[in-house]
Amino acid sequence: MLMQVGGEGDRPTFFEMVAAQQLPESLRAALMYSLGVIAQRRPIVHRVLDYSDEFFAFLMLILEAHNVRTADASFAEALYGLRRQPVEIVTDVTQKKSSLPSRAGLTRAQKSLSIFFLVGLPYIKAKLQGAYTAQRGSALQTALWGSSSAPVEEVVPHNNRSIFQRWKLNLVAVLTYSFPWIHATHEGLSFAYQLLYLLEATRFYSPALYLTGVYVRRASGQELLDGTKHIQERRNHDYERIRGPASLKAVQRGLLKSLYTFLDYAQTGLIAGVFLFKMMEWWYQSAEERVMAPTIYPPPPPPPPPKVAPNGIPLPESVRTCPLCLQRRTNPAMAAVSGYVFCYPCIYKYISQYKRCPVTLIPADIEHIRRLYKDA
């Protein structure tokens, strides 16, 4: 038995698949960040953040189930104009074409598996990651401080626990211990499939697509039009199935219309809403920074240089000449009280003897000599 996956003309590029795979994580990060900012003004939103994994999984379950059911694609794939197609099963190796149609839709089992790999598996992975991080943090705290912030059921003696608590703790311990290996295996397989996809050795971008028995392809313009028509026919059929009194039918019809409207605009609405929120946050943050920023004044002009004293040593014509030895400066040094530059041996001997600047006669000491490592 051989699996064929169609032609190469409708094959998405590697970067399209990467963008489609990373869109849910990017959407999750932006949505959680937006809720975190809103929670600073509305503390009730913290309840949503406490169950962020469940909240996002429920949201994605609605979106993914709708898109897989109506468009044979995930939420991100439908946004990029991609579709999922079952692989063609060929029983004879010499047979070139399958008995299945080239644009066959997903079966019910493939749709269920797709939803599980799109929603269920990321949720399980997030919970395992959270449990592993919590256990590692508790173990580190115990090693450093001798105390742990473990839950109450973990502090209860083993003999006083119920069977359910023992089973739960043992299961969490096993999963937490094996999580690094599971995570490494999953990431390794994902990397291998992505590398093979990049080298055009397979059309399965991930092991989840291989296990589901589907691959991703570009949808044609006619398919997009047919998909819109099919969705409308399905909805009309749902409206016709409504039974009951007229008032109840009106309520049910209104609820269905509201649900379908939400699903229609969820793809672009979520992304546009998060983008608009980030843009407004940047705008107000920039305005706040401009208001709260301290006023920047121009630097004051430098003070006038000290004047040459009438009884002081006159300055030579060349700025590179030492006023004391009247030779080109070597190993330059400055008298900090006046700013004039001399040879270091000359100014050191003069200040050691006379305790003043030779040009301005301002009192100085050896501590006021500053060595210069670049003679201008």
- Structure tokens that stand for 345 in this block: 């041996």
Residue 361 phi/psi, 5-degree rounding, is 65, 20
pLDDT beyond 50 at 156: no
Per-residue confidence (pLDDT) for residue 94, from 0 to 100: 47
Q: Is the pLDDT of residue 95 over 60?
A: no
Give whole-number Cα distances, 294 to 266, 283, 288, 298, in Å: 43, 19, 12, 13
User: Which string of b and e fits 201-237 if b means at least 16 CB within 10 Å?
Assistant: ebbbbbbbbbebbbbbbebeeebeeebeeebeeeeee
Closest to 34 in 3D by CA, of 21, 52, 59: 52
Helices (H), the chain: 14-39, 46-50, 52-71, 75-79, 108-115, 121-145, 152-155, 163-198, 207-212, 221-240, 246-292, 344-354
- Measured from the Cβ of residue 68, the count of other Cβ atoms closer than 10 Å reads 24
pLDDT band at 298 (very low <50, low <70, confident <90, very high): confident
**Residues pairing with 371 in the sheet:** 333
Report how far residue 307's alpha carbon sits from residue 81's, in angstroms, rounded to the nearest whole number: 79
Instruction: Tell me how many degrees the CA angle 224-226-227 measures, rounded to the nearest 5.
Output: 60
pLDDT at 153 over 50: no
d(Cα 351, Cα 335) in Å, to the nearest integer?
A: 9
Output the CA torsion sign for 12, 14, 19, 24: positive
- Long-range (24+ apart) CB contacts under 8 A made by 314-319 are 315/340, 315/359, 319/376
Residue 367 pLDDT grade (very low, low, confident, very high; cuts 50, 70, 90): very high
Question: How far is C-alpha 21 from the chain's CA centre?
Answer: 13
- Over residues 86-109, the mean pLDDT reads 58
Strand pairing partners for 216? 84
Is the confidence at residue 90, as pLDDT, over 70?
no
Q: Does residue 345 surpass a pLDDT of 70?
A: yes
Give the pairing type, strands 2-4 and 88-90: antiparallel
Has residue 152 got a pLDDT over 60? no
d(Cα 337, Cα 251) in Å, to the nearest integer? Answer: 90
Average pLDDT over the chain, rounded to an integer:
78
* Measured torsion, CA atoms of residues 239, 243, 248, 251, in degrees rounded to the nearest 10: -10
- Which residues are paired to 333 by β-bridges? 342, 371
Query: For tokens 């008298």, what's the residue?
Result: 335
SS3 134: helix
Residue 305, pLDDT above cutoff 90: no
**pLDDT over 90 at 237, yes or no:** no
Using CA atoms, how far apart are residues 325 and 152, in angstroms rounded to an integer? 85
Q: What is the pLDDT of residues 69-84, one digit of tens each?
A: 888 888 888 878 888 8
pLDDT at 120 over 80: yes
Residue 71 burial (10 A CB sphere; 0-12, 13-18, 19+): buried
Percent of the chain residues topping a pLDDT of 90: 17
For the chain, domains (ranges, CATH) are: 2-241+254-275 (no CATH), 309-376 (3.30.40.10)
pLDDT surpassing 60 at residue 329: yes
Average pLDDT value for residue range 329-357: 92
* The overall pTM is greater than 0.75: no
Q: DSSP of 243-307, one letter per residue?
A: -S-HHHHHHHHHHHHHHHHHHHHHHHHHHHHHHHHHHHHHHHHHHHHHHHSPP-PPPPPPPPPPP
